Structure formats: C-alpha cells, structure tokens
Structure 1
Amino acid sequence: MLRSTFMIAFCCYALALPAQVSISSNHRYLLHNGKPFFWLGDTAWELFHRLNREQASQYLQHRAGQGFTVIQAVILAEFDGLHTPNANGDLPLLHDDPTRPNEAYFRHVDYIIDKADSLGLVIGLLPTWGDKVWKSTWGKGPEIFTPQNAKVYGQWLGKRYRTRKNIVWILGGDRTPQNEQQLTIWRQMAAGIQEGVGAACAVITFHTQPNALGSAEWFHNDAWLSFNMFQNGHCRNTPVYNKIQAAYNLTPAKPVLDGEPIYEDHPVCFNANDLGTSSAYDVRKYAYLDLFAGAFGHTYGCHDIWQFYSPAHEAVNNPHVPWQQAMDLPGAKQMQYVRRLMEANPVTERVPDQSLIAENNLTPAERIQATRGSDYLYVYTASGLPFTVVLGKISGSRLQGGWYNPRNGAFKRIEQLENQGQQKFTPPGTGYGQDWILVLQDAAREMKL
C-alpha cells in the first residue's frame, strides 16, 4: 500500500509527461506540455448539459479568444442533470446508475472536450455535481453514489478520457463532506479515475463550499490530491488571501487555487436588495489578491455564464444578461490583463512575500498585497492607497518599473531607482475601484509589459 501511494505521488509530481497537465517540480505550479501553465479559468458548470454543439463551440471560441486557458464544467450537472436531458435529448445515465453511462450523452461530452483541445483550452472536468453524493438543503439530486459505484464510474471515466491530454479532474462539486461515507465516496472516485487513466497520471483536485482550508481540510495528505482548491462564496471584502496563504504553507507543498470566487453580476452575499450585484472591480480584486497571496492561477466566474442563462432554461438567483452577451462583461474582458501580467515574468518561481511592504496587514477593502520572483516584484493596492516598498529583496543594483492598470492593461513607466532602502510609492489614482499594480524589475533585464 505504501509503495502504491508513493508511485501515484511520484507520477503526479515528477513525471511531467509531454502533452498533458502535470505539477511543477517545486510543487507550486502547473505545467502543460511540460511548460509553465497559467490557469485562467471560467466556471461553465452547465456547458455539457445545456449547450448544443454549435453553442458550445461559440462559447469556447470566444473564451479562447479572450485569453482564458481553463473551462470548468460538470458531467452530471446541477440543474436536474440526471433527469433533464442535454441539448440533444440524452440523459447521462441509464436508470440513474453510475455504472451504466449513456454512450450518446458522453459522445456530446467528447465533442466539447475535443473542441476545447483544438482551441488550446484545458477542461476542468467534474464527474458530478455534489448533490448526487449529498443533496443537502438545495440541489435536486438524487443521491446515487456509493463507494462501490463511485469507483466504477471513476474507472470508466478515467479509461474513456485517458488519451485526452487537456483534462484536470475536479471532484466535490460544491459540497462539504459530512461524514466518513461521503469521504470514502470521493476517495474511491479518485482511485477509480487514477486506475482508469493509468500511467498517464491524472491531476485531481476537489471543489468544496467556502471553508477555512478548502480541499486541504480533508484531503491534503491524500496522494491523489494534486492541488488544493477553494470556493470563497460571493461576498465582498472577504480575506481570502489569508486562506490561500494558509493552504500554501501546508506540508507537503501543493499548488493552491481559488476555483470559485465572487462571480461577476452575482447578488452579493445572495442579497441583491441590500448589497447589489458584483462588479468587474469585485472580481478582479479577488484575482490579484489571491494570486499575490500564493495562488498558481485564478478562476473567473459569471452568474449569467455558469448556468448559461436564457429564457429557455430554469434560472436561479435572478441572472440579468443572456449568456451570449455576458461573455463580454467588463470583468471577463479584464481577465486577459491578469494573465498578461502574470506571464510577463517567469511563472513558476514566483512566491508571496508581504515583507516587501510596510503596510502589509490592511483590511480587505484597502488591502495591499505583494509577490515576487528572483528579479521582479508586484504590489497590488486594492483602493490606490500609497505604500512603502522594502527594497533589496530582488536582484539588480537598479530597478525599472511602472504602474500597471488592471482596468485596461496600460503600463505607465516610472523613473529607475536604486534597489536599496525603503521607498514610498503613490498610485496614479485612489478610491473605490482605483486598484493599481506596481511593477519593479531588475533594470538589466528587458521589460515585457
């Protein structure tokens, strides 16, 4: 048993086979085709269930064009995914039996996965939404999984998709495990996927409800858990960065990701009457704070997109915009600037470092968060407050840099400075929605922004 666990862990962390997703050697980042991979995700939970091939292709092409790299979607979907057919009229299982998948339904899943691959997109593939394991107080269920059939279903999926190299597996589906039976179901499903995928090695994570440590609360020491994932609900000014940092600091080291932050155009804390709906500023602030706290990538989400809102389908929590229009909401467009910044310097060497700044413990609304590589640093100020940088922590006798505007990706250079002592920086603007990123880099290296 110890040898088996070691071999799975070795495969997931060290093998780095070509043409697939794997974990970097420092256990902090993901690779794709053996190269650093920036996860810029979108929660398209109902993609397989609600869209036909033409619509799915339209959605995937649009997101690829906007710079997204990962699409998170569910096979056994939330909106009565067992009993309401997909766009082709097919149900996923015969008689709600996970050991009897419906081939016609899965041919549609195959098409979408392959279409995504042709566009350079990775699929964050959820075998099931969590209500099929535990219905809780919401969700339609029914609860169909046992440890035995979960493993069989996982094996079947792993074997079916073992040759697809654009898949990261996501278990959990918006549920917090309640007891040993449920923990065993998820562990058996993971074991089945690993066995089905075989030597190619599956990269697997777990999508839970909001909690202190995300998937790490139950599964951090499980060899199958390749990286930790959080869901942080849909409220403003939650100190998510502390949770990201806590998971980042766990032993053994594993990558960490915010897989469901506040969605754009979502009722804030599910209370639109008092708190309104979330904005582009809300979603991009979570992106930069999460990333600078140690996340290896980030998932964007939109309330109108995850459910593919249209008059033809049941809706939840009052979406506003049909999904075709929602693809171009401001926050979605601004995610390309997140990716541009994070890929402007070496991806896999970056670390969180609040010691770079004197004002390192402000409240979420005014938070200042810092991260660095060996010869560059970024400082994010959520509301444009001035801050003091402690210099001398990256290489170079002189530094070049400037202000990066997360609203439009514009970069305004500042004068070069000596890399020593402390220096105060004042952003170009201040106040609500006036977030900025200071970029400093060894002056001897070319600036790529």
Structure 2
Amino acid sequence: MNNITVASDKRHFKKGKSDFFYLADTCWSAFTNITLEEWEEYLIYRKMQGFNVIQINTLAQWDASKTKLNIFPFNKNEDGTNNFYSLNQEYFDRAEKMLDMAVCYGFTPALVLLWCNYVPDTWAAKFDSSNILPLDMIEKYVEYVGKKFSKFNPIYIVSGDTDFPGEKTKEYYKVALDTIKRVAPECIRTMHIRGRLMDLPKEFEESESIDFYMYQSGHNSIHKDMTYLLAQNFYKKKVKKPIVNSEPCYEQMGYSRQMYGRFTQFDVRKALWQSLLSGASSGITYGAHGIWSWHRNEGGFASSIGEGFDKPYYWRDALKFKGAWDYSFAKWLFDNYDLCAIEPLEGCIDKSEEIRIAGKSDLSIVLIYIPVNTTVVINKEFNDYEFEIIDLSNRYFGKPQVEIKDGKTVIGMHSFDEDALVIIKEKTI
C-alpha cells in the first residue's frame, strides 16, 4: 500500500511513482452516524464515480445530523458527561473496521484529529464549551489514534474548521501535530482552517511538519469569490506547498447564517474550476448536504448549531446529487491531460476575475474557465494550438470560434447555456 507523498515541485501529490489528483468527499460524521451496511453502499457508489479520498472527523462531528447508533469516542462519567480520559474502545474498533473497508475499496482516509469545538478559544468553543478536551490528554489521544489507524496510510488533518485566536489554541494543535509526526512520520499532514481564513500562524505555515495547505472557501453566499482569492493567496505563500480547497460550498447546502437559498450544482462546479485554475491544482473536495452530516429524515438536524444551515437532504438522495459527477469529470481531465502541476496565468485576461486561466509551465496546455458566456480575449497569440470547448453542464465537446491577431487570441461566445471550459493544446508534429 503506497503512501501519498508531496512531489518534488511542491505543487502536487504522488502515490508511488504516479501523480495523484486528490479527489475527496466530505463525510465528517462517518464514525458516529453510518451503519456498516450504509457505509459499504456509499463506498461502492463513490468509488464508481472516481473519488479516492474521504475526509472524516475522528471524533464526533459537533453539528452532525441526529443518530440512533449511540456510539461515541469517549466513555461516560456517572453523571452522563464525557470522560475525556477514557477512550471508548468499541467506537475506535468500529472506526478501524470502517477504515479497513474504505481502503479495500481504494480510498485514502483523511482524518481530522481535533475539530475546533474540542479546542479552547476557537469560534466553535464559544458556541459550546462542554467538549473542550483537557490539554494533558491530547498527546495520549493522538498517539492512540496514530498507532491504531496509521496502518491505513491516512492523511492526518490536525485541525478542523479552526481559527487561531490565541496561544492556548495553538498549543493544543502543536501538541497534536508533534505527536502525530512522531507516531506516524510516513503520513502526510495538513490543517483544515476556518472559511475565508487567509493565513496559518507562522509556526504552522512555515513548519516542515505541515506538508500541504488546505483552505476553505466556505458556504457564505456573499463571499463566492473566496474560491479563487484564497487559492491565489496560498499559491503566493513564501513556503511552497500543494494546495487543496478542502471545503468549497456544498451542493444543496443552505447559505450560512440561515440566509434563504441553497447552493446549486452550478455553484459547486464554479467553485471547483475557479479553485483548480487559481493555484489549488493538486486536488479538490466535494460536499453534499446530507452526506457530510449523514442525515436521516427521522433523525433531525440542529440548524442552530454552528453556522446555521437549512435542513439537509436524506443521505441516499444527497449521494446521487449530480454535482459529484462534475468533480469526478475534473479528475478525469486532470489525469488524462496530465494537469496536476498547472499554474495560474495572471494578467492574461482583463475582462473579469471570475474567468480563470491556468496552464503548464511550458504552455503546452492551457485551460480557461468561463462561468458566464462572453467573448474572451487572451493577451497572447496561441498560434499552432488546437482549441476545444466543453459544455460543463452536459459535458459536450466542441470547437470554439477563435481569432488570433495583434498579439491576442479571441475566443468567441459559445452557444451553451451555462459555464464552459476551453482547452488550448499545443499541436504536435
């Protein structure tokens, strides 16, 4: 079983000797909410779609949908509260079995060690401080997880949805990071941070113990430009690392802050391509509203917790959302066109930042994402190139109208209803 590693260019991943495009599904609540029969059904379907990573919270997800499984990571005190010094062996044995099943189906687990509600002073701890873990048990807990799960060669996500308001918060994550590196040095590590957060604290951003950057463009309806702004921001960091948008808007999730409206298939596809073509080209994470929380209609959903999203869909309905196919199609393109190390090409298009362009360093292949139909002018002549255009909503392939003159390449308006991807490929002799 090959570990995932960082390639020598520090921009993409390898698995063994092959490039590895990180295509994750968000299933934060797997260990507490999913029966083994449901888990296998889920794995079979996502494998068929081409997903290769599953992001899971190792501890209980604080805003998951309600469940009747009644299995949690800590044993209880006599008064019913969690005994944070007593890990529930049954819970972790069950999680181990689920990970074994996932790996057998070809998935790499990406395991969050400390979601932010377990850590003091974070934004989530201010909502509910009842689950703050004692600092003196963090090493014991992380060591236990590392020894039990590292045989599956997971990616370890040290933090979950976190901000870093003070030294106490950073101390927790530093203990967790140092411990997992000691116990599982062969597994790569990262940190999942709060939506729209532009920076990690310097001691994590520049640390050799953090192998790649994760950012979260999030679920806020008025900040949709974070998909590309955050990608650009992390791409320009002094310390070069692969970049993944680990939590773009989830399909059919209600807008955060209980605002009316839901993210559509188009919204999540736009987040996908704007991320990949703006510097975060090593992979992408998909989310379906009903899968991440593993929702059952009879189970209920506490919309007042966290960011206050509208009710999720039943998990079997959410599993079949069509946007997941858009993400697997992106993986197919990246694998077949060898695009894992493409770089954003800034200043090539003047019309709108919404239109994203990226290419290989030698410009042998260039991609342009056009979310809304318009004529696109590129400040470069692409002579001796072939042009294809893909209707992303239907995955139709066609030939765009192209005119090259006066140092520019002009791509005419296409006839598709929604967004399109243009592939510009150097002709071969």
- Corresponding residue for 1:408? 394
The answer to whether structure 1 residue 292 and structure 2 residue 277 are counterparts is yes
Write the distance in 1 (CA, Å) between the matches of 2:199 and 2:43: 28
- Corresponding residue for 1:349? 341
**1:420, distance to aligned residue in structure 2 (A):** 9.1
The answer to whether structure 1 residue 151 and structure 2 residue 139 are counterparts is yes
The answer to whether structure 1 residue 40 and structure 2 residue 41 are counterparts is no
Q: One-letter code of the match for 1:126?
A: V
Question: Which residue, out of 70, 86, 90, partners 2:71?
Answer: 90
User: Cα deviation per residue 1:381-440 (whole Å; 9 max; x = unaligned)?
Assistant: 1112211123357xxx6111210122232221358988993121024247xx72111101
Are 2:53 and 2:108, in contact at CA under 8 Å, matched by a contact in 1? yes
**1:120, distance to aligned residue in structure 2 (A):** 1.3
Write the distance in 2 (CA, Å) between the matches of 1:426 and 1:235: 33
Are 2:367 and 2:421, in contact at CA under 8 Å, matched by a contact in 1? yes
- Corresponding residue for 1:77? 60
The answer to whether structure 1 residue 117 and structure 2 residue 109 are counterparts is no
- Corresponding residue for 1:15? none
Coordinate RMSD, CA, aligned: 2.5
Identical-pair percentage? 21
- Corresponding residue for 1:50? 33
User: Cα deviation per residue 1:116-152 (whole Å; 9 max; x = unaligned)?
Assistant: 1111111111123221113433357411131x32122
The answer to whether structure 1 residue 225 and structure 2 residue 206 are counterparts is no
Are 2:403 and 2:410, in contact at CA under 8 Å, matched by a contact in 1? no
Over 3 Å counting, the alpha-carbon distance change for 1:416 and 1:428 in structure 2 is: closer
Structure 2, gaps ≥5 residues long: 77-81, 304-308
Aligned length: 409
Higher RCO (C-alpha under 8 Å, 6+ residues apart): 2
**1:227, distance to aligned residue in structure 2 (A):** 1.0
Over 3 Å counting, the alpha-carbon distance change for 1:369 and 1:216 in structure 2 is: farther
Write the distance in 2 (CA, Å) between the matches of 1:334 and 1:410: 13
Over 3 Å counting, the alpha-carbon distance change for 1:231 and 1:279 in structure 2 is: same
**1:330, distance to aligned residue in structure 2 (A):** 2.1
**1:321, distance to aligned residue in structure 2 (A):** 2.2
Write the distance in 1 (CA, Å) between the matches of 2:39 and 2:265: 24
Write the distance in 2 (CA, Å) between the matches of 1:286 and 1:406: 13
Are 1:158 and 1:195, in contact at CA under 8 Å, matched by a contact in 2? no
Write the distance in 2 (CA, Å) between the matches of 1:270 and 1:78: 19
User: Cα deviation per residue 1:171-228 (whole Å; 9 max; x = unaligned)?
Assistant: 2222212211110111110111111114xx2211111212342546662112211111
- Corresponding residue for 2:148? 160
Write the distance in 1 (CA, Å) between the matches of 2:96 and 2:68: 14
Over 3 Å counting, the alpha-carbon distance change for 1:259 and 1:216 in structure 2 is: farther
Write the distance in 1 (CA, Å) between the matches of 2:238 and 2:274: 22
Q: One-letter code of the match for 2:208?
A: A
Are 1:337 and 1:408, in contact at CA under 8 Å, matched by a contact in 2? no
Write the distance in 1 (CA, Å) between the matches of 2:63 and 2:358: 42
**1:79, distance to aligned residue in structure 2 (A):** 3.5
Over 3 Å counting, the alpha-carbon distance change for 1:370 and 1:44 in structure 2 is: same
Write the distance in 2 (CA, Å) between the matches of 1:80 and 1:336: 27
Q: One-letter code of the match for 1:345?
A: Y
Write the distance in 1 (CA, Å) between the matches of 2:400 and 2:419: 17
Over 3 Å counting, the alpha-carbon distance change for 1:228 and 1:177 in structure 2 is: same
Write the distance in 2 (CA, Å) between the matches of 1:311 and 1:208: 30
- Secondary structure at the aligned position of 2:157 is classed as strand
Over 3 Å counting, the alpha-carbon distance change for 1:309 and 1:80 in structure 2 is: closer
User: Cα deviation per residue 1:88-117 (whole Å; 9 max; x = unaligned)?
Assistant: x43312344555322211111111211111
The answer to whether structure 1 residue 193 and structure 2 residue 180 are counterparts is yes
Q: One-letter code of the match for 1:233?
A: G
Are 1:20 and 1:34, in contact at CA under 8 Å, matched by a contact in 2? no
The answer to whether structure 1 residue 443 and structure 2 residue 427 are counterparts is yes
Quick check: which one's helix share is greater? Answer: 1
- Corresponding residue for 2:47? 64
TM-score, scaled to structure 1 = 0.84
- Corresponding residue for 2:167? 180
Write the distance in 2 (CA, Å) between the matches of 1:179 and 1:264: 33
User: Cα deviation per residue 1:46-76 (whole Å; 9 max; x = unaligned)?
Assistant: 0111001111111111111112221111121
Are 1:398 and 1:417, in contact at CA under 8 Å, matched by a contact in 2? no
The answer to whether structure 1 residue 203 and structure 2 residue 188 are counterparts is yes
**1:356, distance to aligned residue in structure 2 (A):** 3.4
